[in-house]
Amino acid sequence: MTVIDISPSVMQFLLAFIVVGPLLGAVAALLPAPPGLKGRNPDQAVLRHGVTVTGVVLIAAIVLAVGFDHDHPATMQATTDISWIPALDVRIHLGIDGISLPLLVLTALLTFLCALYSYFKPPAGPSPKAFVALVLVLESGTLATFAVLDLLLFFLAFEMVLIPMYFLINRWGGDQRQAAAWKFILYTLLGSVVMLLGLLLVGLKGGTFDMVALAADNGRGLTTSVQVIAVLAIGLGLAVKTPMWPLHSWLPDAHTAAPTVGSVLLAGVLLKMGTYGFVRILLPAAPDGMRTFAPYLAAFAVVGIVYGSLACLALARTGAKGDLKRLIAYSSVGHMGFVLLGIATMTPTGVNGALFANIAHGLITGLLFFLVGAVKDRYGTADLDTLAGATGAALYGRAPRLGALLAFAAVASLGLPGLAGFWGEMLTLFGAYSPAEGLSRPAFRTFMAIGAFGTLLTAAYMLIVVRRVCMGEHALPARTTPATTPAPSAASAPDTPQAPATPGPPQTPDTTPAPATTPAPAAPPTPGTLQAPTTPGASQAPPAPQLADVQPYEAAAWTPLVALTVLAGLWPAVLLGLTDPAVQKLLSGGNS
């Protein structure tokens, strides 16, 4: 069934345009703007160009999804197959099925929302020309990763995103951005070198670099030893990008230093490339090798689930000076652990759960990083103790809509039933309860129990974050009043100038000390903050100043993510109906 009947040639053109269009847009962004499109501000003109290009790509992706034959999601559609390097039998082979289509649409959507957000709030840093061009190159590489069906093209697209993300972190990031950018690229490059060797091994020993042919062969052309070596080499490179514990240490630094848009794309899109490679390449092409390493992959996955949750709990506790962006990054380690656990089960249930969790994580964590970026813009910091401590009623009292959205994203991330985060985790645990034939059931049921315990830890730290950031630490103002003098007298007031709220000294009302106490709210160097007047005779902390609540451009960028999180939670069959037939075909060696 297709919603709109689109001819195969138009579908081919749409997929090719989706992959190449952002690259052409990146080149155009670096060229001088035509006279009629310069506008009043050249920076705004190039940012508008980014919104236009990503918007057109998103429309093309939606039309492609509408024209997709949903009755046959296991069949490669919109395919293009052109010989590129005949000597190596490398072909420009593009196509989509039920596994790659949701990731393609998710990438186009998140990149458009990031471009829209950046148009109204450009990141602080060098020229927006380079920023827009890098974002478009990043989009092109990511879309190509999900659309190509040749091993060497997959590797080129996989590597294409590294340089743009490196510069986005290094040039537009925050503190420690250079160290974080270098750590990101060194980890991923080293993993990619090993992955290339594995891809070459599979292609040369299998007689083809075509992913569809390798999946149909289902490992019959590769000996078990070749499959084991290939899974070890390719899996190592994919595990770095996922990231799998203990190869994850680049991720918290990269997220903490990256600009808001960089964090959204890194969590929402780039992490999915690693898990997609496991499903698209290793599961169908090297099943015996995957079966050998599946218990180890599952063990690393559940350790990552628990480790990520414990790290988040440590960052969330009072006095830890935890960074909220860093906490969300560690939560990604745990969530991607569920994806790896589902893949390791090698069952349709587990792999479908992994693919569902992939999409859910992209929606929810992308929204979380948008929200944390907005909170940081308003407060000037993402430090949890600062956000929860000196703010009184915190977000619920100062920016209620922003606080409600942060609470919504947090409960979606912890896997509340009815929202997108629930189904992926549940299906993954069901898959671990009954793994594929040849895998140890007691071991995987132990992994299932550990993963279920990880969901409780996830709920614990997310609820702590909501309580502290959205409600604030109400006990803190009481500690600011000195306990030594229960009732301060007028005589003692002049001798204690360090008290935060002076009861109005009777000596000189017009001398310089008076203005010196009034600028005490030196905390509001935050944009959009309205200062609350201090009451001269109050003995408690002054009321927290109001913050600018959700702005129209923020609502435009965040509403689609909220709506899709609810839709995927209430109607999971929309996504599972696409992925399940394709997964069944991959796991059965090309037989639907």
Q: Angle at the Cα of 495 (from 493 to 498), degrees rounded to 5? A: 80
Exposure of 263 in the CB half-sphere (CA atoms within 13 A): 33
pLDDT at 35: 55
Backbone angles phi, psi at 95, to 5 degrees: 175, 160
Four-residue CA torsion sign, 502, 507, 513, 518: positive
CB-based contacts of 570: which residues, under 8 Å, 6+ apart? 418
Residue 402 · residue 258 · CB < 8 Å? no
Q: Which residues of the chain register pLDDT less than 70?
A: 1-3, 33-40, 389-393, 473-546, 589-592
CB-based contacts of 208: which residues, under 8 Å, 6+ apart? 89, 214
From start to end of 62-203, where are the E strands? 77-85, 90-96
The 10 Å Cβ neighbour count of residue 307 is 20
CB-based contacts of 548: which residues, under 8 Å, 6+ apart? 378, 399, 527, 528, 529, 530
Is 94 in a helix, a strand, or coil?
strand
Residue 189 · residue 162 · CB < 8 Å? yes
d(CA 588, CA 568): 27
* Pairing assessment for the beta strands 77-85 and 529-530 based on DSSP bridges: unpaired
pLDDT at 134: 93
pLDDT in tens, 505-533: 444 344 334 344 344 444 444 444 434 43
pLDDT in tens, 97-106: 999 999 999 9
The structure's pTM equals: 0.84
d(CA 494, CA 506): 9
Residue 329 · residue 256 · CB < 8 Å? yes
